[in-house]
Amino acid sequence: MPSKKISELVRPKLVPTVAGALVILGFALANLTRGQAWWWCIVLTGLGTFGPGLLRELGWLKDKDEFEIQAARRAGYHAFLASGLAAFLWIAFVRSGPRQLKSPEELATFFAAILWFTWMFSSLVNYWGARKTAFRILLAYGAAWMAFNVLDELTHPVAMLMQSLLTVPFFLCAWLSRQWPRSAGVLLLVASVALFILIARVHEARGLGLVVSATTMVLFIGPLFASGIALLLRQSAESDPIQQEEP
């Protein structure tokens, strides 16, 4: 293997790995340790999330080609539009009635969730196309849910098996998104609405705040809903076929 090829394979993985480690470390230290001062560790998460982009803008990190940079910048604009609109909707909602925020810092989490989710999803669609993005998101959902179920029911094999069956729709929908993208898109939209109603009822029963519910919706249902919309809006079968290496 030529040396350049090795560097191509290694270099792009290094930055996301370091950034991802910082994100996880920040959350872990802030949550696992005692004392409010430890919440300063959350800054590590911020550095992991936004640090690489800042370094790229300053010209100190050159790990992306022009197409990747264009996708990221376009996604940044989409994130600006989504979080800006959300901010005005939020102000209108809060000011239009006697509403009290339970914990103001959760509001920051909500807007960070919108900003991050929109940027991430948009850059993936710009880079991979709708079909590949939806396929990978659904696979990731299915795998994460299965891992959670397996770890949660380690001592109860039957329960583990039954719980794991809940992940089948994700894998099925992933397969469907490759074969019949529009049908998968419709299914994802229907599933998103059903999950929205389910989560809203669970949160209402538990008395969770509006901001917590909204953040959960954005991060949990958002990718499924956005994948459904992206699959329905994709321009043609030619625009983003699942890519095969061509001779």
Partner 1 sequence: MKPRQEIRNALKHYRLQAGGMTQEDLALRVEVTRQTIFAMEKGNYNPSVGLALRLAAVFGVSVEELFQLEEGARDA
Nearer to partner 1, 155 or 235 (CB): 235
Angle between helices 104-128 and 66-95 (to 10 degrees): 150
Residue 97 DSSP one-character state: T
Instruction: For the CB of residue 184, give the shortest distance to partner 1 in the complex, in Å.
Output: 19
Residue 81 contacts by C-beta under 8 Å, 6 or more apart in sequence?
118
Token pair, residue 66, equals 């022009």
Q: How far is the CB of 67 from partner 1 (least distance, A)?
A: 4
Task: Give backbone dihedrals phi and psi of 167, rounded to 5 degrees, phi first.
Answer: -85, -15
Minimum distance between the CB of residue 126 and partner 1, rounded to whole angstroms?
Answer: 6
> Token pair for residue 76?
């940044």
**Cβ-based nearer residue to partner 1, 103 or 243:** 243
Smaller CB distance to partner 1: residue 6 or 165? 6
Give the Cα separation of 131 and 136 in Å (integer). 9
Q: Record the tokens describing residue 143, joined without a space.
A: 């795998």
Closest approach, Cβ 65 to partner 1, in A, equals 4
Nearest to 72 by CA among 46, 53, 48, 47: 53
Amino acid of residue 12 = P
Of the candidates 211, 225, 218, the residue with the CA atom closest to the CA atom of residue 93: 211
Binding residues vs partner 1 (CB under 8 A): 2, 4-5, 8, 12, 65-68, 70, 125-129, 235, 238-241, 243, 245-247
CB of 131 to partner 1, least distance (A): 12
Please report how close the Cβ of residue 242 comes to partner 1 at its closest, in angstroms. Answer: 11
Q: Which is nearer to partner 1, 98 or 247 (CB)?
A: 247
User: Helix, strand, coil: what percent of the chain each, to 5?
Assistant: 80, 0, 20
Q: What is the DSSP letter of 156?
A: -
| CB of 6 or CB of 161, closer to partner 1 | 6
**Measured CA distances, 72 to 21, 57, 67, 214, 222 (Å):** 21, 11, 9, 25, 19
- Return the number of the residue (190 or 233) whose C-beta is nearest partner 1: 233
Q: Coil, strand or helix: which one is 10?
A: helix
- Cβ-based nearer residue to partner 1, 52 or 129: 129
CB of 210 to partner 1, least distance (A): 34
